[in-house]
Structure 1
Amino acid sequence: MTREEKSRVIEDLTAQLAATNVVYLADISGLDAETTSNLRRSCFKAGIQLNVVKNTLLEKAMEASENNYGDLPSVLAGNTSIMIATNGNAPAKVIKEFRKKSDKPLLKGAFIDQAIFIGDNQLDALVALKSKEEMIGEVIGLLQSPAKNVVSALKSGGATIAGLVKTLSER
C-alpha cells in the first residue's frame, strides 16, 4: 500500500468516525468464510457497517478525529474489525446473538456517545443499553399514565356530578 493510498484510507476512516457516535471494535479472526459471510449479513440486516481495518490506520484516524477515544486505541492489536452503527446497542446485540453459535466475534472495545467501553466483559452492559427510540417510548408511556388514570376515574364514577366528585375525592 502506497503512502497516498494509506492517507486516503485514513481520510475515509476519519470521515466515517466523524459521521457517527457509535463505533465497536471486534476481533473476528479465525472465522471461516461462511461464518464471516453470515456475520456480515446479520450486520447488514441490523443497519451496521462492518469493515476489517489495519490497526495503525485506524489509530491515526482516531487521532485525527474530533472525538476523544481515550484508551480505545490501546485495544488495537491483532485483527480488528470496526462496526459502525446509528443505534448504540445494535452491534452488541448482533455480537451476542452470533456468539450463541460461535466463540467469536470478541468485543475489544466500543465508543458510544463519548462513553468508552473496553473489553469483552462489557458486552452484557452494552446489550442492556436502551436506544433513543426505546427511551422516548418509555417517557411517553410514563407521561400518558396519569392521564389514563384520571379518565378511568371519571368514567367509573358515572355521569352524575355527585358520582364524579365522590370518585375524585376517593382518589
Structure 2
Amino acid sequence: MKSNNRQLKEAKVQEIKSKLEKAEAVILADYQGLNVEEDTELRKKLREAGIEYKVYKNTLTKLAAKEIGIDGIDEYLEGPVSIAIGYEDPTAPARILNDFAKEHKKLELKAGIIQGEIFDTDKIKQLAEIPPREVLLAKLLGSFKAPLSNLAYLLNAIKEKKESESAE
C-alpha cells in the first residue's frame, strides 16, 4: 500500500516538475474564500487564455521546484495555494489573476516564477500592468508606421511641387 502511494506522489511530482520546466510564468495565489461561482468564473477566464489552473499539495510542489533548482519558493507555499501556469505570454497569468483579485478581494496573489526567477507580490502586480503581447506589437508597428506615413506624405508633396513648377 505504501509503495503504491509513494509511486502516485512521485508521479505527481514529475507532473508538476514538467509543467514548471515548460512554463513561462507560474503565479501562486491564495484562493481561500472564493465560492464555487467565483472559482468557476476564474477558471473559465484562465482557460480561455490558455492558462492551466491547478491546486497541488504544497509539499509536492516544493519537491518539484527543488528538483529543478527553484529555490526560495517554499515560503509562499503555505496554506491553500492555487497555481496558474502560462506557457506562452509570461504576463497573462499575472494580469488575469490580478484583475480578478481587484473584483474579488478574497483572491490574493502570493508570488510567481517568471522564466525561472521568483517574483514577490509587488513584482507580480507590476508584471500584471504590462499590456498583452498583441497590444505591445500593435503599438510597435504603429510607431513604425507614423514616420513612414510622414515620409510618404513629404515625398508626395515634393513630387507635386516639382510637377507644378515644371507645368508653369
Shorter-chain TM-score: what band? 0.7 to 0.9
Gaps of 5+ in 1: 165-171
Give 2:97's aligned amino acid.
I
More deviation, 52-61/84-93: 84-93
How large is the Cα RMSD of the aligned pairs? Answer: 2.4
Residue of 28, 31, 34 corresponding to 2:34: 31
Which amino acid letter does the alignment assign opposite residue 5 of structure 1? Answer: L
Matches within 5 A, 1:38-57: 38-57=41-60
* Counterpart for residue 110 of structure 2: 108
- Cα distance, 1:77 vs. partner? 0.4
State whether residues 98 and 109 of structure 2, in contact with CA within 8 Å, keep that contact through their aligned partners in structure 1.
Answer: no
Output the CA distance in 1 between the equivalents of 2:131 and 2:114.
Answer: 12
Give matches, 1:10-159, under 5 Å: 10-65=13-68, 68-85=69-86, 86-119=88-121, 121-159=122-160
Bigger fraction of residues in helix:
2
Q: Pick which of 131-140 and 24-33 moved more.
A: 131-140
State the TM-score, normalized to the length of structure 2.
Answer: 0.82
**Distance in 2, Cα, partners of 1:24 & 1:163:** 64
What is the alpha-carbon distance in structure 1 between the residues aligned to residue 115 and residue 162 of structure 2? 53
Residue 118 of structure 1, CA deviation = 1.1
Shift of residue 155 of structure 1?
2.1
Cα 1:125–1:58 shift into 2, 3 Å: same
- C-alpha displacement of 1:163: 7.4
- CA deviation vs aligned residue, 1:29-79 (integer Å, no higher than 9, x gap): 1222222112111211222110001111001111122xx534223211001
